[in-house]
Amino acid sequence: MAFELPKLPYTYDALEPVIDAQTMELHHSKHHQTYVDKLNLALEKNPGYQDKTVEQLLVQLETLPDELKVPVRQHGGGHANHSLFWQIMGPPPAGGRQVSNEPTGPLSDAINAAFGSFIAFKEQFTNVAMNQFGSGWAWLVKDKQGELKVYSLLNQLSPLTDCHTPILGLDVWEHAYYLKYQSRRKEYVDAWWQLVNWNKVSELFVLN
């Protein structure tokens, strides 16, 4: 079956004022849709792989036919990355209030064990997002040993190709923030923390 653009769990304007409705609509209905369309086009020429999930394709990337590797890496990665991105965000506090937004339970314990504290993790993740040169993503992942790691990847590369499980990702491509923040990536990154849906991130941490 062909891949489809996932529906958002909120309206395009739900993340305002952190991310504006126009950016969300373009990002979801144009950019993400393009990754889905181009991935489907590549798989039409390789129907034997159409029954795979995008996660399976990315994990098995090096075993795919040569003509599939690049489109799966680029467009499959774009589809998987954005599908996660929409899930791990939610509306900010009412009235745009600045409030503490932190994980609890097992994820909180794992972050403290891996990074020393939530504040230290947040600083490291923010620095990774800021230091990603050009387009890419900042990631919090579980590695093969189940340990938490933070790093960035270029363009639409996915942690899944290294058999790492992404549980939190931040899109730092300019199209994710340019309409509102223009070149002010730091302002976008700092504001984005208000949107993180730690319940969903915790669910991904526990299930994977």
Sign, CA dihedral 94-97-99-103, equals positive
CA angle 17, 20, 23 (to 5 degrees): 160
| Largest interatomic CA distance in the chain | 51
On whether the CB atoms of residues 17 and 33 are closer than 8 A, the answer is: no
Among residues of the chain, what percentage have pLDDT more than 90?
A: 90
Task: Please state, in angstroms and rounded to a whole number, the distance separating the CA atoms of residues 167 and 159.
Answer: 10
pLDDT of residue 95: 52
Cα–Cα nearest to 71, from 96, 45, 95: 45
Is the pLDDT assigned to residue 96 strictly greater than 70?
A: no
Summary mean pLDDT of the chain: 94
pLDDT of residue 175: 95
pLDDT tens digits along 22-41: 999 999 999 999 999 999 99
Average pLDDT of the residues in 39-63: 94
Sign, CA dihedral 54-60-64-67, equals positive
Confidence of residue 54 (pLDDT cuts 50, 70, 90): very high
Confidence of residue 201 (pLDDT cuts 50, 70, 90): very high
Question: In 3-state terms, what secondary structure has residue 152?
Answer: strand
pLDDT tens digits along 143-153: 999 999 999 99
Peptide bond into 17 cis (omega under 30): yes
pLDDT of residue 195: 96
Average pLDDT of the residues in 65-72: 96
- The number of C-alpha atoms within 13 Å of 136 and in the hemisphere containing its C-beta is 15
pLDDT of residue 208: 76
Confidence of residue 70 (pLDDT cuts 50, 70, 90): very high
Question: In 3-state terms, what secondary structure has residue 206?
Answer: helix
Single pTM value for the model? 0.94
pLDDT of residue 90: 95
Task: Please state, in angstroms and rounded to a whole number, the distance separating the CA atoms of residues 12 and 10.
Answer: 7
All structural domains of the chain, each given as residue ranges with its CATH number in brackets, are 21-87 (1.10.287.990), 102-207 (3.55.40.20)
Edge-to-edge strands, sheet with 148-154 = 148-154, 136-142, 165-171
Task: Please state, in angstroms and rounded to a whole number, the distance separating the CA atoms of residues 205 and 107.
Answer: 7
Q: Which helix (H) or strand (E) holds 122?
A: helix 118-131
Sign, CA dihedral 89-93-98-103, equals negative
pLDDT of residue 97: 47
Question: In 3-state terms, what secondary structure has residue 178?
Answer: helix
- Give the type of residue at 25: E
